[in-house]
Each structure stands twice: as C-alpha cells, then as structure tokens.
Structure 1
C-alpha cells in the first residue's frame, strides 16, 4: 500500500490547513492505514515502531470527531510518561490550531494539581494524561467521562511494562461503553491482547513493519542550537566543511522559502524545493543542483523524494522530522555510490527525545558535536587558499605575470617580492572570506566547561533497554507515585 496524501482523506478544511502549517504533505504508513479506518468509527489496534507518526494517526481522527459546540471531555489519551503526554499535547495543539472552540489539556504528576483543577473548569474536550494523575482527578470528581467519545492508549506496551495494568482497568471501567477505542503499541504482548478483548469492539488491526535500515556509510551528528541561531550554524558548517553540494531539510514549505532567501542574502547559492512549486520550476532547480550550479538545496521531505544525486556531501536536518522514516530518507541523500557522507541534526529542548527515538529506530549512534568557531573557519579558509596557490605553482605557466611583478619592484624601493606575494595571497583569501559571521548564542552555548545536558539521554546501542523515565522526569508509575 502506498502512502496517502492528506488531500485524499476526507478531512475538514481546518485540519488540512493545520497539517499544511505543520509541514505534512503525505501520511506515514501507519497514518495511511489507521486514519481511514478510524474516521469510519471503527476501533483500531495500531502496531508501529516509535517515531513513525502514531500521534497523528489517532490525533487527526480524534480532533475531527469532536463536537466543538459541546464542552467537557470527549477524547481521553493515556500516555505512560509525563514527557510523552507533553509531546502528544503539543501535537494536538497544532492539529487544533484552526479548529475554533476546541481545547486540549495535558495533566500529569509533578505538576500542581490545583492548577490542573482550574484548567479543567474550562471544560477542555481533549485530555492527555498519565494514568496516576487521571485517577487522582477521577477520585476528586474533577474529571468525568459521561460525554467521552474516544479513548486512546498510546504506547500501551510501555504502560504494561511500567505496571499500569490495574490503573488502565480502573480508568476504563468509568468510561461509557458506547465509545471508540484506539490502541497503539510497538509490540503486541499477551497483556495488550487481553486489554483489546476486554475494552475494544471488533478492532481493526493495522500493522507497519520496520524496514531494514542501512546507513553505515553516513556519519551522523547533532548540535544543540536555539532556533534564532540555526541560520548562523548552518552557514558556519557549510564553510567550515567546505560543502560544495548539500541538502537542507525543513518541515514546512514557508520555512524552506524563508531559509532559502536568508542564505541567498548572505551570498550562498541556494535553491528552494517544495510541493507548492510547479513541476517546470522543480525541474529547473534540480538541474541546477545536479550540475553544481547551486551549492545548497533547501527542501521539504516529500519534495525531495526520489532525489538521486551521487555527490551530495552533507545533509542538514534544519528541523527534526516527526517521523523516523523521513529521517532515514533524508540522510540517505548522502553517502551514495560507495562514498562517505555526513548528516547534521539541529536540536534544542525536547527535540532530543525525537532524536532518541530515531536512534532506536535506526539502531545507530548520533554523536553530539560542537559548532565550528569563527577562528576555525578562518583557519580552514586560509588552508584552502594555500592549497589553491600551491596547485597553481605546481601547474606552472605563469611566467607572463612576472613582468607585472618586476614593474612593481621597479616603481617602489621598500617593497619585496615576499610583500607582493603576501598581498596577492590576501586578495585570494579575501575572496573566500567574503561571508561575514555573527557572534551569537553558538559561541556562548558551547564553552569548554559547559555541562553536557544531554549526555545521559543519547546512549549508544546496547546500553540497556528503553528508559522507563523519559527525559529524566520522574515516571508516574504505580508504585511510589506522587501527585
């Protein structure tokens, strides 16, 4: 089954506008299979690896079925950890961006319950939460499910591993029997099947199998950078690594256009590629890129599908993709035809958890690195200029220029041939130094003594199973749980 374009699904204009804003043009495999079934009102068991777009697979049908004219909980999403609850909540907020009258709320342990109670008085239609805190509100009668239309178990296998089975039973017993239920899990142990038998009505089982991922020829790196310093970082990397042909991936079409314009203003030969462009224009851009007439191609995922250029030296993930498969497609644009390639991912804040999911999916190591300093770029450019001059000397054939040197020496008394050579070398170096760099957070964020905040989050393969405590947060597990 081919992936569906979101335009092929029976979605509201507001939802299509939100997906376009989020940069989604094509549904992932799990979304292509689950969304049409869920939109018909069927219960769904979705089996797919983490990082494959499961949130939108249940989030889109959930938001579409909500009646904005009625307040109160219509959708409940249960997550095993507070970090995941926050991520899912942010995704729902984006999906509801153009849906008037629909509110969502994340509730989890570790956050003030009084603040949550106040927020619940606003009667949000969507609740995303951890089992422990959901039950706390049920006991206080601040959370009721009489109007519930859909219940979702996200990462159900993790819930069982963390000891939430009894909590799940307690919560589901308070729900109306007439509801739609969706369950998503990477694996299907017996406990998951028992839950499905108890609480689901003839569910449709949709499965997407993980493809074999081969990216051994690509060095994968990530750099922590704030949003307002990404452009500066990209420019430094391109110059420090002397990238002659590179692809920069963004999640949205407007970001592609904005970044392309910014790079061109800085003197880079950059071209944009995204779904809103006509085919003739896209062909023109690709021809320039293949011929090396554009050093950087700025693209969205779908627009870059099928790019087959063997000499791409580097791939830059300006935005981290929401789907791990997109990450594999992106970095696969380099390291082709037996050549080595390198990819750089720009991350900040919770992006690091997406990267951890990608590591698990690809079974590879993404290494943290530091951005190039201005002094290191200048050194590189000086070396490049030296190499070019040495190549000219080795080639010979410059005797006709000696007359100009002799004339300069005749006209001046205090100038030596070494001075003239240095002046000419400076002219050559200035050509390479025409791009100016800005002092930015890049220089402040990566000092020698800075503590690596993420060193315990990105671990090499084989250092243990998936963390039960995502992102260093205290898990909202059954035993020892605190409200």
Structure 2
C-alpha cells in the first residue's frame, strides 16, 4: 500500500495530509493521483467510499495559484449534499494555505448571496449543474481562467437528466490546456458518450474492487407489505445495529414509517427533497452525531452522504433499478468497515435485475431472525444548536474550550462538532445535556454570548 509521501507534492500539503491522518492511499488514489498531478485527463470508475474525493482534490490544491484570485477549478456534483461535502474536503486540504476561497453554488439556497459572493472572486467553485448554469447565464462567473474541471458521480448526474446542462457548462469553459476528470460508479454507454464529448485522450482507471461486495453482507426477506414495519425492531436487534439508514421510494412513505417507528419506541429523523438546505444539513448532522440512530430517506440520500459508520441499511421499498440499489447499499461498509444491507420485497419480479448483479445475496425467512429483546437502540449523544458559526469567527476549538473549561466536560464527553455559516451543532453525552444548556446560555463562548438550544 503506497503512502502519500510517494507523491510529488509540496511539503506543506504533505504535512497537512499527515495532520488529517491521511497516511496510506486507497487503490483509486494510488492509481489516479500520479496521472492527475501530471495533468492527464482521467476517467475513474470507483465505488462509493473509495476515497475518490481526495483523489481529485489533492491536484486542485497542489496546482492552486493562491495569489491569482480568480476561479481556477470547477467541480460539478449531482446533489447539494455531495457538493457541500466535497467543498468541505477541499477546504480541509487547503488549511495550510492562507486566504483560499472555496465557494459552493447549489440550488435550495438563495441565489443573490451567491452572486454577491462571486463578485468578490473565488479560487475553486463546487456546485450542481442547474445552479452553475444559472450563474453562467447571468454572467456571474468568470470562467476564462478555469484550468481544471471535475465531474463527480457523473452517472448520477446523467440519471438525474443533467446531460444537457453539463454539456452547456463545459461548452462555456476554456478548451485549451484544460484538464478534465470524470468519476463514476458505473461505466455504461451514457458515460462513454459524455466522456467522448468532454475529455481529451483520457486514461481509464478502474478500482478492481468496484463490484466487490465482500464487505457488505446482503440479506433479502420476502414479506407482506403490511408486515414490513413490525419487522424493523427484529432486524435492528438481531444485527445489533447502532446506526440505521432506511430507504423508501416515496416521501409520504417516509413520513408514515417515521410515525410508525416512533410508536414502536425508536427515535428517527426523515430526509427527503421537501427539506430546505438548512433542514437537510441539520437532519444529516443529527443522524451522523448519533443523536438519532435511525434516518429514513428517499433516494435523495442514496448519494453524497459522507457518514462512515452506518452499520445497517434497510431497503423498506425495493429500489427502482439495480444502480439505485447499489448506491443505497454503498452507504454502509465505508472507510474499510463492514456493513449489512437488508432488502424487504413482496414479489419476485421486484428483485430480478438486482439478483442478476449480485451472486452472494442471502435469501432468508423472517422465521430465522434471532430477535434479541434485551437490545435497546438508545442514542448515546444529544445534539445542541448554537446560533453562531463561521461568520461569527466561531471555531470548533472555541466550543470545545467552553465545554471543558466552563462546563467541566471531558474531551470524551464531546462528540462531533459541525460549523456552518451562521450556526453550529455540537454533540455531547446525553447525561450532560441540561447542564451544558444551562452553562452555555449563562456564559460566553470566545467572549460572546450565544443562544443554545436542544435539537
């Protein structure tokens, strides 16, 4: 396994990678990084969780001319969630460089503030096709200095009908000396057509583990529609799951299931396309912080979720096609972990295409489930909302300092901290929730008063 030390990158970037505990490269990083650093166009087929974001982000950062305050790189993503997560990863990799501006341009948030931010320039933009194209059509983005273009999860973009938008964006970019890379979980005919249209003599790289499902154990249960919900407690307890993602095909099913699960005594959150960006962010934070151990989602969440320790995925509804199924179950077994994916089906025809793709599915009877009645899925953490964020110069270290020095918590009592533009979230052991609320609301963080609320 190769280390990042073997790459021809700056000492400062290497030190930053070490500080982020990036030591050994994944297979896709090992194959693509030398090519991308050498300005080759690349098509990379890699599964979710393979480390592809780092693969294309390191070259963006290494080649960045920070004193040249103009957009030099563009990353196009299919969803807001993925775009936000990619932007965060790039920002982490830029920590050793002062005054780097990475701008996210996505729908679901106000357009005018983005336009105003673009007037003040940026180095790297990450966005979704529709919003990027709207800014381009209104002449908000200076494109003439873009030297690097990345299409992340290109297959998902095409599935969502963004082919024409992507081509329209690419046609506006400089053609000479532009490096283009395309990352995709599949390499079907539509991806080949797109690659032919926008890449120049690309090198095709495939992670040989792309179709490997050895880390994901799949179990299929045939069941009546009316019995699905009542089976969920047994599925959770028999697998000793602490973080569960449940997929439904329709928003109304998500809401109905959430009500039914609550009646069964489980805490859960719902993620679907009706939520605005702030609500989506909060939902993902509450789930990833383990304040709510179950998230019920439509396929808006089957891509772009960067949560490493989901140990059980349940397909309450069978996915509409085998590609969606693959992306769903890819939410588990990330970051070298193992995971379980369970699919509930009512008719054989629902799973015919999926059966053809996977040859190691375990078909079992619900009678074989070993329900552990003593197992309780109780969240260890509670998440608190703080009405201050990046615009207030609030940092994670400031929150940790206040919790330790003012409240008296230990570092092990503090979980994830997520800082957004105008607000923040912090996970703390649930037994300290009331104490933290009282102390933080009665004291200052970094010399300033903030309101703190339960979530």
Once the two structures are superposed, the pairs formed by residues 333-352 of structure 1 within 5 Å of their partners are none
2:33 and 2:112 mapped to 1: Cα distance? 36
Q: Which position in structure 2 is the counterpart of 1:384? A: none
Quick check: 1:370 aligned with 2:378?
yes
**Structure 2 residue aligned with 1:20:** 18
**1:359 aligns with one of 328, 332, 342:** 332
* Matching of residue 54 in structure 1 with residue 42 in structure 2: no
Distance of 2:413 and 2:82 partners within structure 1: 36
The DSSP-based 3-state class of the residue aligned with 1:364 is strand
Deviation at 1:180, TM superposition (A): 0.2
1:127-158 CA distance string (max 9 Å, x none): 00000100111111111210010000000000
Q: 1:30 aligns with which of 23, 28, 53?
A: 28
Q: After the TM superposition, which residues 63-82 of structure 1 pair with which residues of structure 2 at under 5 Å, given as runs?
A: 63-82=61-80
Query: Are the counterparts in 2 of residues 48 and 186 from structure 1 also a CA contact under 8 Å?
Result: yes
**Is contact 1:220-1:365 (8 Å) kept?**
no
1:101 Cα deviation after fit: 3.6
Equivalence for 1:202: 201
**Could you say which residue in structure 1 is the equivalent of 2:37?**
39
- 1:109 is matched with 107
Greater share of residues in strand: 2
Q: Which segments of structure 1 move beyond 3 Å, counting only runs of 4 or more?
A: 214-220, 321-324, 354-358, 360-363, 365-368, 437-441
Give 1:108 deviation, angstroms.
0.3
Task: Return closer, same or farther for 1:214/1:89 CA change in 2, 3 Å cut-off.
Answer: closer
Question: Per-residue CA shift, 1:211-239, capped at 9, x if unaligned?
Answer: 34257699463359xxxxxxxxxxxxxxx
Q: Which residue of 2 aligns with 1:129?
A: 127
Gaps of 5+ in 1: 225-320, 332-341, 343-353, 374-436, 446-483
**Does the CA-based 8 Å contact 1:52-1:323 persist in structure 2?**
no
Shift of 1:117: 1.5
Residue 222 of structure 1: which of 239, 242, 246 is its match? 242
1:118 to 116, 119, 131: 116
Larger radius of gyration: 1
What does 1:246-261 align with in structure 2 at a 5 Å threshold?
A: none
Counterpart-to-counterpart distance in 2, 1:215 and 1:175: 40
Q: Which residue of 2 aligns with 1:187?
A: 186
Q: How much has 1:88 moved relative to structure 2?
A: 0.3
Higher RCO structure (Cα 8 Å, ≥6 apart): 1
Q: Deviation per CA, 1:235-282, whole angstroms, max 9, x where unpaired?
A: xxxxxxxxxxxxxxxxxxxxxxxxxxxxxxxxxxxxxxxxxxxxxxxx
Relative to the length of structure 2, the TM-score reads 0.52
Q: Is the 8 A contact 1:359 1:365 kept in 2?
A: yes
Please provide the CA RMSD for this pair: 3.5
**Does the C-alpha gap of structure 1 residues 44 and 442 become closer, same or farther in structure 2, counting only changes over 3 Å?**
same
Q: Residues of 2 paired with 1:442 and 1:12: CA distance? A: 43
Give 1:122 shift. 2.4
Using the alignment, how far apart are the partners of 2:68 and 2:376 within structure 1? 48
- Residues 342-421 of structure 1 correspond to what in structure 2 (within 5 A)? 357-359=330-332, 364-365=340-341, 369-371=377-379
- Tell me how far 1:355 sits from its aligned partner: 10
Deviation at 1:360, TM superposition (A): 6.9
Q: CA deviation at 1:443?
A: 4.2
- 1:49 to 1:368, Cα distance in 2 relative to 1, 3 A: farther
Residue 68 of structure 1, CA deviation:
1.2
> Which residue in the other structure is 2:155 paired with?
157
Is the Cα contact below 8 Å between 2:144 and 2:173 reproduced in 1?
yes
3-state SS of paired residue (2:69): coil
Could you give the per-residue CA deviations for residues 92-118 of structure 1, whole angstroms, max 9, x where no partner exists? 110111122422111100111111112
2:216 and 2:341 in contact (8 A); partners too: no
Report the Cα distance in structure 2 between the residues aligned to 1:360 and 1:157, rounded to whole angstroms: 21
Structure 2 stretches of 5 or more lacking a match? Answer: 219-237, 245-304, 313-326, 343-374, 382-411, 415-427, 434-455
Deviation string 1:418-470 (CA, Å, 9 cap, x unpaired) is xxxxxxxxxxxxxxxxxxx989642488xxxxxxxxxxxxxxxxxxxxxxxxx
Distance change (3 Å), C-alpha of 1:139 and 1:216: closer
Alpha-carbon distance in structure 1 between the residues aligned to 2:306 and 2:197: 32
Mapped to 2, the partners of 1:160 and 1:355 lie a distance apart of 17
TM-score for both structures, normalised by structure 1? 0.49
Aligned-partner Cα distance in 2 for 1:368–1:129 = 41
